[in-house]
Amino acid sequence: MDIKEKIQKEMISFTCNFNFRVATVGTTVRESQPFAVLPRRKSLGYEAINFLVIDPTYAEECFKLLDGNVQYILVDIESKKTIDLMEIANKTVKKAKIVSYKPNDTTLEAADMFLRNYFRDNLKDKKVLIYGAGNLGSKLSLRLAERRARVYLDSRNKEKTKEIVNALNYLIPKYSKNHITAIQNYDELINEVDILIAFTSASNVISPLYSHYLKKHSLALDGGINNFTSDFIIEANRNSVACYRLDVRTAFPHSVLYLSSYTRDFYQNIQGESMIGNIRLVAGGIIGNEGDIVVDRIKDPKQIVGIANGIGGLKLESEYSDKERKNIERIKNTVLQS
């Protein structure tokens, strides 16, 4: 089956209105087929067909076949190989709306969500061994440490791992009790690890040796796909370790949040400024001038948040001038009650 047949097969799977049809086109640092079809996704009313390309010729053909048949094409903006998907999309796509997205962020959210669900949103003091100190392994280490897990990071490059761990620990909140550790001696972790996570572009790096560090009934998560050797999986199952491959579809809402009605509503109806007579209203994060009235939303406001102090904060009520008190009463009586 050629690329055209594969894409056409995916396009007939849509059941949603055209305005909610999405295609994602991503790439990878891993050695892969020049073109591959990924699992379909649905969320927030959107349906997505998903493709992976590592060859510029296939990318161009893919964009041409999708253009006009979906409302949005989400294009991988991350630099993983010499291929520049966004540049190809901008030259090729004429009808669909091009939207940049970061698959690594989606993967990070999926891993975080999976672990929270698996451990019932309680990762406190769980010992987590993360193998892979690249983009995803490093970001997830920080996220889990902030969730109060005890994180141990390792990779093939020990010096790089130490540098990354030092940098990440600078970012952890001052009063956090748990910091990230670069592994020096694996013997200290024998039968101690609650969660093993692999995030590396190499295949078959987690050998049966790693099963010795895992507690009985612990969890092993393959985030890099094919990071686990078959022998490790067999040994882990023998020791009652639950083995999973990360499914990023759980974080699909994160990918389409930019397209959602909620996001559009925020920038169209919540954030903004307006004048009521000589009174200026601001909302949605706009830093007001001194005396501006800050409301919850600029269109049809329901709440007065306070009066801006002109330097990014709000005045105390005791600091209001007589004019500012009158302005607030006027807004309460005219705008909030209308």
- pLDDT 10s digits, 255-269: 999 999 999 999 999
Which pLDDT does position 102 carry in this prediction?
A: 94
Q: Dump pLDDT digits (tens) for 168-222.
A: 999 998 888 889 999 988 999 999 999 999 999 889 999 999 999 999 999 999 9
In this structure, what are the phi and psi dihedrals at residue 142, rounded to the nearest 5 degrees? -65, -45
Name which of 111, 193, 166, 106 is nearest 144 in CA terms: 111
Per-domain residue ranges of the chain: 3-101, 105-249, 268-334
What's the residue count for the chain? 338
Which pLDDT does position 338 carry in this prediction?
A: 66
Cα end-to-end span (Å), the chain? 62
Residue that has been written with the tokens 């002109």 in this structure: 310
Name which of 78, 53, 103 is nearest 246 in CA terms: 103
| Run of H or E residues at 8 | helix 3-11
Tell me the chain's radius of gyration from C-alpha atoms. 25
**Which CATH class for the 105-249 domain?**
alpha beta
State how far Cα 76 lies from the chain centre. Answer: 13
Q: How far is CA 254 from CA 19, 41, 142, 263, 276, in A?
A: 18, 12, 19, 12, 37
Name which of 44, 5, 7 is nearest 24 in CA terms: 7
Using 50, 70 and 90 to split pLDDT, how confident is the model at 29? confident
In this structure, the number of other CB atoms found within 10 A of the CB of residue 205 comes to 19
Q: Is 203 exposed, middle or buried (CB count within 10 Å of its CB: 0-12, 13-18, 19+)?
A: middle
- Do 198 and 227 touch, CB atoms closer than 8 A? yes
pTM: 0.88
Q: Rounded to an integer, what distance in angstroms lies between the CA atom of residue 244 and that of residue 107?
A: 14
Label residues 252-280 b or e (16+ Cβ within 10 Å = b): bbbbbeebeeeeeeeeeebbbeeeeeebb
Q: Dump pLDDT digits (tens) for 61-84.
A: 999 999 999 999 999 998 877 899
Average pLDDT over residues 222-251: 95
Written as six digits, the tokens of 205 are 């790096």
How high is the mean pLDDT of the chain? 94
Which pLDDT does position 1 carry in this prediction?
A: 57
- Do 47 and 41 touch, CB atoms closer than 8 A? yes
